[in-house]
Chains A and B, each alone.
Chain A
Amino acid sequence: MAIFANDAAPKDALTTVTGVPDHAFRGPRGNRRSGGRRIGSHVFLIILAIYFIVPIWWLFVAATKDTAGLFGSPAFWFDGNFAFFANVAELFTHQGGIYWRWLANSFLYAFAGGIGATILAILAGYGFAKYNFRGRNGVFGVILGSVMVPLTALVIPTFMLLSQYGIINTPWAVILPSLLSPFGVYLMRVYTQDAVPDEMLEAARIDGAGEIRTFFQVALPMLKPAIVTVLLLSVVGTWNNFFLPLAVLTDPQLLPVTVGLNRWTALSNAGAGGEQVWNLITSGAFISVIPLVLSFLFLQRYWQGGLAIGSIK
C-alpha cells in the first residue's frame, strides 16, 4: 500500500517553501525513501550542513598554516606552506610545552569529574527508581528543581567555600563541584524505571542475592546505554566548563585547555610582541576538539538513544 502511496503522490506536494517536507504521502516507517522526490529537502539539509561544518573546516585549514599564512592566504583553503607539524613542534616548546599540560589537565578533570558524576548518578537513579523509601518523592522533586538553578550562580559561593578549606587552585577545586549532575540522576532514574523490571530484582532476592549483588549483577548490565549517555554528557560538561576553572584556578600549570587557549588569545590580542601565537591558538584548538568529536562519532548509537530517554515518556 505504501508503494502505491509513493507512486500516487502528486508532484506539487513535494516540499513546501519553508523546507518542511510533505509527510502526507509517505508510507509507514521503513518506506521513507522516495528517490528524487526529496530534492528540496536535501538542498535545505545541504545548506544547513554547510553552515554547521564550515567553521570547523576553517579551523582544520587554519591549523595547517603559520602566522603569515593565517593573515595572507585564502581563509578556507590551504596555504602553500603546510605548517601543521611545525605548529605541533612549536606547541612542545612554547612556554615549556604548557599546551600539553593543559590538554592533560582537561583529560584529568573531565574524566575524574565525569566518571565520578556518572557513578553517583547511577546509584542515585537506581535508588530513586527501585526503592520506595519515605521522602523519596520530596527529595527527588528538590533535585529536579535544582536543574533550573544556574550553576554559574553557584561559582562565586563555591569559590569562597573552597578557599576557606584551602583547596582553591588545586585540581580538586574543579573536580569536586563537577561531581554534581542532577540531570544525570534524572536520566538514570527514568531509564532504570523502564529498563530494569521489578520482577527480576525480586527473583534475584529470592535466590538469596543481597541488595548490592542484585544491583551489580542484575541491574547494572541492563543500564549500559544510559550509563554511556550520562558519562558522555558529564565528561563533555566538565570538559566545556569555563566559568568554574576560570574562577578557582590561577596557576597557569593547572588550567584546562579551554581556559589556557582563551588566555593566549587575550595576550595575542593585547598585541604583546612575543605573545602573538595565532598559529598555536588555531592548531591547539584543532587538536583539542579531536577527542570529543571522535568520541561522539564512535558512541553515536548510544547517545542518540540515550538523549531520547530525557525527552520521551
Chain B
Amino acid sequence: MADHEASAHLFTTDRLDEETSMTTQTTAGPQPVATRRTSAPRSRGSRLERRRQRWGWLFVSPFLAVFALFLVFPLFYAFGMSLFTSTLATGTKFTGLGNYAKAFTDPLFLEGLLRVAAFAIVMIPAQLIVALAAALVLDSLTSWLSKLSRLLIFVPYAIPVVIGALMWSFLYSPKFGPSATLFTAVGLPTPDFLASDTVFGSLVNIVTWQWSGYYMVVIYAALRSIDPSIYEAARIDGANGWQTATRIKLPMISSSMVMVITFALIGTLQFFTEPVVLRNIAQGAIDAAYTPNMYAYSLAFSYSQFNYASAIAFSLGALVFAGSYLFLFLTRKQSGLK
C-alpha cells in the first residue's frame, strides 16, 4: 500500500499544490492543455482531450458514488450526530463538542484506548516476528514440505474471524478439555486461559494465529521479487546468512513491512470481533467496554445513546487515522515515500 508513486500524493503537499494550480490554470482559459506540465497520455487537440477526461470520470464515478454514500457521508453524519445530545427529558439539543469532552474524560473509553494500545504493542510484533521468520525460512527452501507448510500457515486466514475465535474459545475452555488433558498429563494444574489476567494473552494468540499467515504471504511475495544476483554479490563480499537477512533482505522489503504493520495497526486499534466472541465464554473477564469499538457498539445498540456512541466512534476513527498517518510519516524513508 505504501510504496507506489500514487501514494506519494498523500504525503507530499507540493504535488497536490501542483494539481490544484493545474486546475486553476485549466479553468482560466481555452488554451490550458498546451500549458499543462504533466503530459496527457497523448495530447491531440483539446476536444479529444476533454472527451477522454469525461471517460475517465465515467469509469471512476460508480465507485465514487458508493464512496460518497457509504464513507464520506457517514463520516460527516457521525460527526454531525456527535455534536448533539438527546435525552428523554430535554429532547435533542446541540451540545457542540460536549460529547468529545465527555469521551476523553470517560474512564471506560480511556481504559479501552489504553487496552488497544497495549494490544498493539504486544500483538503487532508477535504477528510480525512469526510472519517474517516464516517468510525468510520459506524463501530459503523449495521442498514439498516447505510448499505444504506455506499453505498450512496461510489457512487460518481463510477461516472467518468469528469461527477462528469460536474454535479457540473451545480450545481454551476447561470444560472441553484439550488444555486440561495436556496439563494433567504432565502433572501440572490446568491454567485458566479465560481469567481476567490471562485473557489478554489468549486474545493475542488468536490474532497471531489468524493473521500471521496472511502477512507471511505478503512478505514472502516481496522476498521472491528480490533479484537473486544480489545474494550472489553479498556472498562474494563475504556476508553470512544473518547479515544477508538483516542488511539486504529486510531493507529491500521494508515497504512491504511498512504496509503489513500499517494494516496490523489499523486492525488492532479497532479490535472488536475476537473479544466479542470470547466474551460469551469468558464471562466476567471481558466487559462490554473492553475495546473502544465494543464500547461504542454497546452504547449504541444496548443503551440507544447514538449521539455519544458516534462521538466515541468518530474519536476512535480519528485516532486510527492519525496513528497510521503518523506511522507512515515516520517510516517514509523506509517505505520509499520520501
Measured CB to CB, the residues of A under 8 A from B are 5, 13, 15-16, 18-29, 32-33, 38, 41-42, 44-46, 48-49, 51-53, 55-56, 58-59, 62, 70-71, 74-76, 119-121, 123-124, 126-128, 130-141, 143-150, 152-161, 176-177, 179-180, 182-183, 185-186, 189-190, 198, 202, 211, 215, 236, 239-240, 242-243, 246-247, 258-259, 261-262, 265-266, 269, 281-282, 285, 288-289, 292-293, 295-297, 300, 304-305, 307-308, 310-313
Contacts and interface: CB of A to CB of B under 8 A. Distances in A.
B166 A24 contact: no
Interface string B261-286: 01000100110110011001101000
A42 B22 contact: no
17 contacts: A24-B239, A28-B228, A38-B143, A41-B146, A52-B152, A62-B170, A70-B176, A75-B171, A137-B6, A144-B10, A180-B67, A198-B41, A292-B160, A296-B154, A307-B221, A308-B224, A312-B255
Nearest to B216: A48
Most A CB within 10 A of own CB, among B66, B139, B281, B325:
B66
Nearest to A310: B1
Given A20-B137, A136-B56, A153 B314 contact: yes
Given A49-B149, A49-B153, A120-B66, A20 B167 contact: no
Interface in B226-249: 228-229, 231-232, 234-235, 239-245, 249
A218 B90 CA distance: 63
Interface in B180-233: 181, 209, 212-213, 217-219, 221-222, 224-225, 228-229, 231-232
Contacts of B169: 265
A262 to B, nearest CB: 6
B62 interface: yes
Interface of B: 1, 3-7, 9-10, 15-16, 19-20, 22-23, 26, 38, 40-42, 52-60, 62-64, 66-67, 69-71, 73-75, 77-78, 81, 130, 133-134, 136-143, 145-146, 148-149, 151-164, 166-171, 175-178, 181, 209, 212-213, 217-219, 221-222, 224-225, 228-229, 231-232, 234-235, 239-245, 249, 253, 255-256, 259-260, 262, 266, 269-270, 272-273, 276-277, 280-281, 283, 293, 296-297, 300-301, 306, 309-310, 313-314, 316-317, 320-321, 324-325, 336
Contacts of A136: 56
B16 A138 contact: yes
Contact of A23 (B241, B301, B321): B241
A132 B148 contact: no
A156 B306 contact: yes
A311 B241 contact: no
Nearest to A21: B140
Given A13-B240, A16-B241, A242-B276, 13 more contacts: A5-B235, A24-B239, A28-B232, A33-B143, A41-B146, A44-B133, A75-B177, A133-B53, A138-B9, A179-B70, A305-B221, A308-B222, A311-B259
A17 B239 CA distance: 18
Given A132-B41, A265-B280, A48 B130 contact: yes
* Chain B interface, DSSP helix/strand/loop, else mixed: helix
A16 B146 CA distance: 18
Q: Which 7 A-B pairs give the minimum distances between C-beta atoms?
A: A131-B56, A127-B59, A22-B241, A133-B56, A75-B178, A308-B221, A153-B317
Given A58-B167, A71-B177, A18 B63 contact: no
A141 B337 CA distance: 13
B161 A242 contact: yes
Contact of A288 (B1, B77, B155, B160): B160
Contact of A56 (B75, B141, B156, B162): B156
Contact of B10 (A145, A150, A183, A289): A145
Contacts of B160: 239-240, 242, 258, 288-289, 292
Nearest to B213: A52
A71 B23 contact: no
Given A45-B149, A123-B60, A153 B162 contact: no
B56 A127 contact: yes
Nearest to A260: B162
B245 A20 contact: yes
A45 B78 contact: no
Contacts of A176: 66, 69-70
A152 B256 contact: no
B231 A23 contact: yes
A141 B10 contact: yes
A285 B67 contact: no
B317 A44 contact: no
A48 B158 CA distance: 17
Contacts of A246: 297
Contact of A128 (B60, B153, B272, B280): B60
Contacts of B164: 55
B316 to A, nearest CB: 6
B9 A311 contact: no
A124 B161 contact: no
A58 B71 contact: no
A262 B4 CA distance: 40
A5 B277 CA distance: 53
B40 A132 contact: yes
A140 B62 contact: no
